[in-house]
Amino acid sequence: IATMEDYDYLFKIVLVGNAGVGKTCLVRRFTQGLFPPGQGATIGVDFMIKTVEIKGMKVKLQIWDTAGQERFRSITQSYYRSANALILTYDITCEDSFRCLPEWLREIEQYANNQVVTILVGNKTDLAERREVPVRRAEEFAEAQSMLYLETSAKESDNVEKLFLDLACELIREAQQNTLDNTDRAPVPGEGKPISYLSCCSVN
């Protein structure tokens, strides 16, 4: 019996980071195209879905927005395990949110799958005049931790699309790489994904 999936790939993406850094706004901007005023703090976990098309493939993104507040930590931790990707978010105008990153990385190390793709995101670039975390410092930190790195503005819609699409591309690349690694025979023509898709993801 053929299964009728409406997508080629399904990935689970989880946003983590201090309260108030803009996780909910990033998700809203990407999934609904809006910047909601008076966004309250997230209670526990929220969930949204968006399907994107990348090189003719339908990629379904399950996006989980977790609460940054400490008191929800035990709930949010349980969502790490099955994440394909984590968006570790801080606020470029809030040194404190950057200084907490090692703590978040410890959480990730403890609760996430070790295959997880992690991207560091500095949000609120529209508030450049209030910047407390220099780009160079964040870049170096991301590099030392083998993370991707991007700065965004949920408010101005800067790099938000790129964030999720780059992540989707990276996840496709890894999924295809795993498929190749697990195949001990040459692929039959017309079966599975063409290998040329492997080079599809230089989105810049």
Ligand X SMILES: Nc1nc2c(ncn2[C@@H]2O[C@H](COP(=O)(O)OP(=O)(O)OP(=O)(O)O)[C@@H](O)[C@H]2O)c(=O)[nH]1
> Of 19 and 100, which CB lies nearer to ligand X in the complex structure?
19
The answer to whether the Cα torsion of 51, 53, 58, 64 is positive or negative is negative
- We find the least distance from the C-beta atom of residue 70 to ligand X, in angstroms, to be 10
Stretch 28-47: interaction string toward ligand X, x if CB under 6 A: -----------x-xx-----
> Of 21 and 119, which CB lies nearer to ligand X in the complex structure?
21
Dihedral angle of Cα 148, 153, 159, 162, to the nearest 10 degrees = 70
Q: Which stretch binds ligand X (CB under 6 A): 14-22, 55-63, 109-117, 135-143?
A: 14-22
Type and span of the H or E element at 65: strand 57-66
> Of 41 and 195, which CB lies nearer to ligand X in the complex structure?
41
Q: 3-state class of 91 per DSSP? A: strand
Q: 3-state class of 173 per DSSP? A: helix
Q: Find where tokens 């950057």 sit.
A: 98
- Provide the binding-site residues for ligand X, judged by CB under 6 A: 19-25, 39, 41-42, 67-69, 123-124, 126-127, 153-155
